[in-house]
Chain A
Amino acid sequence: MIYLTLITKRIFLALLTLLIVSAILYGLLEILPGDVATRILGRDANEENLAILRERAGLNIPPVQRYFFWLFNIMRGDLGYSLISTRPLTEILAPKIFNTLILSTCAFLLYLPLTFITALVQASNKDKKIDNILSAITLIILSMPDFIIGTILLIVFVVIFPLLPAISLVNESSTLGEWIMALIMPSVTLALVMFVYGVRMLRDNLIEVLNAEYVLMAGLKGLPRYRVLIKHALPNAIVPTLNVTALNLGFLIGGVVVVEQICSFPGFGRLLIEAIKNKDLPVVEATILVAAGFYISANLIADVISILLNPKLRKT
């Protein structure tokens, strides 16, 4: 297949980007600003503690060498050890990533139909009253930062109608019921945040699709409107939806951090915040790398699917 080279090139570029991310991460955190040990322990740490830390964290090796050791270890699957709890990072990260994945999937499942239907309604009734009302509502929610949306939802569903628990602490031993209760708040918040960005982009894309000539043609042929929508417009709406979703993933990962903090959901985002507060460098590096990795791979998958679906993209 001709476009196989194109796909391989994309994969290669993605890996390269990830590599650069790791270099930037490591460079920022370990190499550039002065003494790492002092930063972790604070300005008033005594010399002995600093020396112990340097030894333990392996900071005595020259930085560039350290970077390559780190990379090498990652490729073998060893992400290092947390400075605070000295447990291997893979052990710490795995369950949190799992939790966050469940959360993201729930949010995603909520977000997808909501966005699609709303954007479709807006696109089909462009500039009519319903479109403007929906646009206004979207703009207002868009302007509210995710933590405010989360906090408002918290107020509504915990204070006013005491339906849901205020904290979403779950672990392996919680029942399915507890899991579901805990997941509702964060996933709804996340879904809303993604929804407002997605629906704006999707609306414009869908308007383009609906105004295409083949849609007009199908309508002229006498096909009923819903048939035109489903058989002709919809398949062509998949690609823009995919692109919009891939772009939204950036907001998803960012939003996850805030939402998990609000609801105390034991996931990836909260882990990152805790690590930054505790200045637990290995954890910070590993988590950001994983986050960037997710984002890059998601974009890659979206790109590849678009290439496979749309022959016109195969030329580049």
Chain B
Amino acid sequence: MFKIGFVILSIHLLIAVTGPFWAPFHYAQMGAGKPLLGMNWINFFGTDHLGRDVFSRVVHGSYMVISLSIFGTMIGLVIGSFTGLLSAYIGGWVDEFVQRFNEALISIPFLVLGLLAILVAGPKLSGEPILMALAVALVYAPRISRISRSAALDIIMSDYVIVARLRGESALSIIWREVLPNISGTMLVEFAIRAGFAPILIGSFGFLGFGIRPPFPEWGSMINDYRPFIFISPITVIGPALALSSLVVSLNLFTEGLARLLGTSRKEIK
């Protein structure tokens, strides 16, 4: 089952990396065809209201979605796992405080949290791709922190760490040599799951109008922009929607296969 996911994912990655070179048109090129043509042999997904080729736009936008998802999730993972780990190791009221903080952040629905981050960033950063990645990281960090904390707690309570502490090993070396390697399995699966969900998050931002500054062809904002033309030329909406869905489906299948391979239990996303 997850082989299908792997295949589709590889196709996506391939398109993302090589796409801009062989896409028939540039993404801002108006006049690739008459506006709002349906599917035809030149424009696979038709043209949009400005005459741009939708297929090329999807292809061009592909690398941004994928790289932002991975980048953003990675930042969130790094911040989250380190805060969780440190919080677990130091313990005491630092731990309590960090936990309350995390819980507060998680109580804000993730979409809202991302929107908040985008709002806060101010006019200079708005519309920049880096903001998207940071928003994703902000949404994921507390949730990952929680998980890394419980995983780290398990390890810290175990005998060999207690022995290491008794031996006088410095905290840094314990964290580096005992804790980190043991939580990396769980964290890897977490990363894969979150990275699978990240394109949806980024797409949602784009859809609501808070995405990357136009005319960059981000899939979410494309779907939103072409909504008024649904009756005339539905393929403009279906095209990017299909791209986004297939990306996420393949990522999910892939991560499920990965999780099963690594043998860790599937913790569901909150």
Q: Hey, which bits of chain A sit against chain B, CB under 8 A?
A: 13, 16-18, 20-21, 24-25, 28-29, 32-34, 39, 42-43, 139-140, 142-148, 151-152, 154-155, 159, 197, 200-201, 204, 247, 250-251, 253-254, 257-258, 261, 272-273, 276-277, 279, 284, 288, 291-292, 295-296, 299
CB of B102 to closest CB in A, whole Å:
10
- Which chain A residues lie closer than 8 Å to B164 at the CB level? none
Please tell me which one of the listed residues B112, B120, B245, B270 contacts residue A144 in the complex, with CB atoms under 8 A apart. B245
Please tell me which one of the listed residues B103, B120, B237, B252 contacts residue A33 in the complex, with CB atoms under 8 A apart. B120
Counted as pairs of residues, one from A and one from B, with CB atoms less than 8 Å apart, the total is 140
- Which chain B residues lie closer than 8 Å to A204 at the CB level? 266
A-B contacts, 10 listed (Cβ < 8 Å): A18-B104, A28-B120, A139-B249, A139-B253, A143-B196, A143-B251, A145-B207, A147-B220, A151-B230, A261-B208
- Among residues of B, the one whose C-beta sits closest to the C-beta of A39 is B122
CB of A151 to closest CB in B, whole Å:
6
Given the known inter-chain contacts A139-B252, A257-B111, A273-B208, please indicate yes or no for A279 contacting B119, CB distance below 8 A.
Answer: yes
- The number of chain B residues touching the other chain, given as a range, is 35 or more
Label chain A's interface by main secondary structure: helix
With an 8 A cutoff between CB atoms, is B268 at the interface?
yes
- Which chain A residues lie closer than 8 Å to B123 at the CB level? 39, 42-43
- Which chain A residues lie closer than 8 Å to B22 at the CB level? none
CB of B69 to closest CB in A, whole Å:
12
Q: Which of B210-258 contact A (CB under 8 A)?
A: 210, 220, 223-224, 227, 230-231, 234, 237-238, 241, 244-245, 248-249, 251-253, 256
Q: Is the CB of A292 within 8 A of B241?
A: no
- Among residues of B, the one whose C-beta sits closest to the C-beta of A144 is B245
A257 CA to B112 CA, complexed, in Å: 8
Q: Is the CB of B249 within 8 A of A20?
A: no
- Which chain B residues lie closer than 8 Å to A21 at the CB level? 104, 107-108
- Among residues of B, the one whose C-beta sits closest to the C-beta of A29 is B120
Q: Is the CB of B249 within 8 A of A143?
A: yes
